[in-house]
Amino acid sequence: MSKEFDVVIIGGGVIGTSLLYILSNYTNVKNIAIIEKYNGFGLVNSNKKMNSQTLHFGDIETNYSLEKAKKVNEGASMVARYLDKYDKKFNIHKRYSKMVLAVGEKEVKELSERYENFKKLFPSMKKIDREEIGKLEPKVVEGRDLNEELLALYSKEGYTVDFGKLSESFVTKSKANIMLNTEVRYLAKEDNKYKIYTNKNEIYSKVVIFATGGHSLMFAKSLGYGLDFAILPVVGNFYYSHKVLNGKVYTMQIPKLPFAAIHGDPEVDSDSMTRFGPTAKVIPVLERRNVKTFIDFLVTLGFSLRGFLALFKVISDTTILKFVLRNFSYDLPFVGKSIFMHNIRKIIPSMKTKDVHFAKGYGGLRPQIIDKKSMSLNLGEAKVFGENIIFNVTPSPGASVCLQSSFEDAKKIITFLGSKYKLNEKRFVKDFS
């Protein structure tokens, strides 16, 4: 039987469920549905095994500009307030210290300059020297060359988050028609509504929001939107050891790259281990460990010469190519782990290869956007807007700003629906500012 809704959200990760939470609690939109192709929420990229479990504020992410850090800090602070207020039942997060570590004269100079530019935005962030680093994270200093320069920016305000559980939490605080194990096959515009064809039935909606990562672009293209974009699918792996760090330790990032630098983190549900990663490599799928999505990747590329040329140009960039080849070397049989140890020893100099193990089943996929017009990599957020429809592809940095991103989508949805629908912006700002 066909059903009709005001808003249908497709995708049950942290982006889709945070939008559901906002629409349910801060608008007068009542007739909402959320569709998820798996049997639960937050099971793909929001799954704790598929990401670094870090709530990014922009303080230790050294490839963020000051402008981007301001926006990310605002968005991450919203999630932090939600966790501080509601995370009693779900055990969604833990608090840890965090630091970004500079090693060597060049990095120390860069990080010191960064501190001067960012200290007003992050007043709780401290610049600490080798001695203080050693007190907080002994293993970072232990066994290191005494002549090697060290500096770190440190904060006590670190959050490790299970974004899958956060997705579930949003759903429990919302009201909607929930459709699990329901896969959207395609959709079409009929008059002033969208007809959505699933593996179970057909439904209608005035407004549709996609929150399905790279698949969002695939559906956008099926309706003639986002034709100038393609996907660069970047997947990552992790390694783990017994606990060697008390908190999160990040390394300096390459400014030109959107990929996270190697870092060491405690697990959200087990501080008895430390996880190192991620590696980053390009694989032609839209969903990690799902080879069936290879065809979906080709669809996002556009089956066009320009699409393949744009992909080639991006990957052949000297900085990106070196990065990609180096990361593929980490997966080589017998020697891959030994090659990767160089990255771990930048954080823990005394770490032995035998104490590090490949984290099987860990690591997700991040769909980076390629602009086919400029043939360049888009380093920021990627949303595609259409007539009464929004496609969230890469809401960078994703889960950390989910409430902020979804609030912006909610404002757009209200304009789509018309004047009788309202968003209580004042109450939202009061709750999350």
Residue-wise pLDDT for 180-232, tens only, equals 999 999 999 998 999 999 999 999 999 999 999 999 999 999 999 999 999 99
Contact 401, 411 (CB under 8 A): no
CB atoms within 10 A of CB 69: 21
pTM: 0.95
Residues near 226 by beta carbon (within 8 Å), at least 6 away in sequence: 217, 220, 384, 391, 393
Q: Decide if 42 contacts 170 (C-beta within 8 A).
A: no
Instruction: Give the mean model confidence (pLDDT) for residues 34-40.
Output: 97
Longest Cα–Cα distance of the chain, Å, equals: 73
Strands 32-35, 3-10: pairing is: parallel
Place of tokens 């860069």: 110
Structure tokens at 409: 């989508």
Res. 156 pLDDT band, cuts 50 70 90:
very high
In the chain, the amino acid numbered 329 is S
> What does the DSSP assignment read for 378-406?
E-S-EEEEETTEEEEEE-TTGGGGHHHHH
Confidence of residue 396 (pLDDT cuts 50, 70, 90): low
Token representation of residue 54: 């870090």
How far apart are the C-alpha atoms of 364 and 191, rounded to whole Å? 38
In the 8-state DSSP scheme, what is residue 54? B
User: Whole-angstrom Cα distance, residue 179 to residue 172?
Assistant: 14
- pLDDT tens digits, 324-383: 889 889 988 889 999 999 999 999 999 999 999 999 999 988 898 999 999 988 876 789
Starting at the edge strand that comes first in sequence, how are the strands of the sheet with 376-378 ordered? 281-282, 229-235, 365-371, 376-378
pLDDT range class, residue 398, cuts 50, 70, 90: confident
Torsions phi, psi for 330 (to 5 deg):
-70, -15
* Segment 400-432, tens digit of pLDDT: 999 999 999 999 999 999 999 999 999 999 999
Rounded-to-10 torsion of CA 23, 29, 35, 36: 20
Residue recorded with tokens 């990562």: 213
Provide, rounded to the nearest whole percent, the portion of the chain with pLDDT above 90: 81
Beta strands of 169-242 (E only): which ranges? 177-179, 184-190, 193-198, 202-210, 229-235, 239-242
Q: How many helices (H) and strands (E) does the chain have?
A: 13, 20
| Phi-psi sector, 324: left (phi>0), alpha (psi -120 to 50), beta | alpha
